[in-house]
Amino acid sequence: MKKVERINIIMRYINNRAHFTITEIMQEFNISRSTAIRDIREIEAMGMPLVAEVGRDGGYFVMNNSVLPTVRFTDNEIKALFIAFMATRNLQLPYLKSRQSLAEKLLGLISENQQDDLVLLNQILLFEGTNPHNPDLLDLSDLPHPMLEKLIQFLLLDSYLSVSIKEERELKSYPIYLLHLYREKSLWLIEGFDLKEEKRRIFPVDDLTDVEPYPTKKRVSKKKILEQLSKQEEAINLVLELGSMAIAQFKKYHPINISISYTNPYQTTAILKTFINVNNSEELIEITNWLLFLGADIKVREVPEEILEGLQGRLSFFYP
C-alpha cells in the first residue's frame, strides 16, 4: 500500500475511534513502530486535532467536534474522478446543475502538473453524446427532469409516496412503496409497489407531475409488501437463457419492465425471468415481436403457449 493511501485510511480509522494507541495502528496496518509514529505526526501536521496521553497505557484521542482533514488523492485517483465526472455528461444526473463550478473546485485541489494532465485528458477523451468538434459543448440537455431531485429528497426521508403521473392527457395518482429509482435507455424510471392494486409498477420520471408523502394510516408494512412481491414472482411464466449475441440485442432494445441477470463474471450469458400477461393482446404482440428481435442465441426454459402460437403464426409468413 502506498503511503498516501495508507495515511488516508489511517485518518478514517482514527476519526471513527475515541481513542487509539501506536500498537493498534501497527497491528491494524502491519507497519513498524517508527512508520506508525511518522504517519501519526504527518496526520497531526495536516490539521487533525490529536491529543497524546502520557503513561504506560497512553495513546491518542481525537478532540471533540473535530472534523476529518482534507483527504489527499493519488494521481491515478484524481484521473479516475475526473474521467468519471466527464463520462456523466448528457446523462441527466441529479445535482449537476453547475458542472463548471464543480470542475473548478476539483482543479483547485490539485497541483499545476496534475491540472495539465486533466486538461489534456479533456481534449483527448470523447464519450457518448460529446460533440467531437467542440467537446465542451453538450449535444443534449445535461439537466434531468425537474422532478427527479424532488423525488430523491423525499426518498431520503421516506419510501411511502403518493405520485401523480400524466397518462394520455389524464392525471392519475398512485400510492406506492418505492423499490428502486434507476436509469435505463436514457430514461429515469420509478419501480414501486402499488399499495392499492398490490402489484409492481414502473413509471417514467418524465411523466411525474408531483410527489407527496403517503399518509401513515393507510400504509402497508414492508414485510407484507415483500411477501406480496414474492408471491407474484412465483407467477413467472417466461424464462430464457441468453447468449452473448442475444444480450447485445437485449441492450439495444427491451421492454422497460424486463431485466436480465448475468450468470458469469464476463457478462456473456444471462437469464431472463418475467411474467407475461397473456390476456393483454398488446403485450402479447409486443413480446412475440421482441423475442424474434433477440434472435437465435436464446434457450427457452419456459414460455406461455399463447406466445408459442404467436411465434408460429409470425414464422408461417416466411415458411408457409
Q: Over the stretch 108-143, which tens digit does the pLDDT of each residue have?
A: 777 788 888 888 887 788 776 666 666 555 444 567
Q: Which CATH class is domain 3-62?
A: mainly alpha
Residue 14 buriedness (CB in 10 A; 0-12 / 13-18 / 19+): buried
What pLDDT does 176 receive? 93
Q: What is the pLDDT of residues 153-187, one digit of tens each?
A: 888 888 999 999 987 778 899 999 999 898 876 78
Inter-CA distances, 229 with 219, 236, 257, 276, Å: 16, 11, 14, 15
Q: Sheet containing 298-302: which strands, arranged edge to edge?
A: 260-262, 270-274, 238-242, 298-302
Q: What is the mean pLDDT of the chain?
A: 82
The sign one gets for the Cα dihedral 182, 185, 187, 193 is: negative
Name residue 172's beta-bridge partners: 165
146-232 topology per CATH: SH3 type barrels. (2.30.30)
Enumerate the CATH 2.30.30 domain ranges in the chain, comma separated: 146-232
Name residue 203's beta-bridge partners: 190
**DSSP symbols for 200-236:** EEEEEGGGEEEEEEPPGGG---HHHHHHHHHHHHTT-
Find the angle CA(307)-CA(309)-CA(311) to the nearest 5 degrees.
70
Task: Give the end-to-end CA distance of the chain in Å, rounded to a whole number.
Answer: 68
What pLDDT does 139 receive? 46
pLDDT under 70: residue ranges of the chain = 54-58, 63-72, 98, 128-142, 185, 232-234, 256, 317-320
Do 104 and 115 touch, CB atoms closer than 8 A?
no
Name residue 304's beta-bridge partners: none
Enumerate the CATH 1.10.10.10 domain ranges in the chain, comma separated: 3-62
What pLDDT does 64 receive? 59
Do 11 and 69 touch, CB atoms closer than 8 A?
yes
Answering whether pTM is above 0.75, one says no
Inter-CA distances, 68 with 13, 21, 212, 214, Å: 11, 18, 36, 38
Q: Residue 23 and residue 35: Cα distance in Å, rounded?
A: 11
Do 274 and 234 touch, CB atoms closer than 8 A?
no
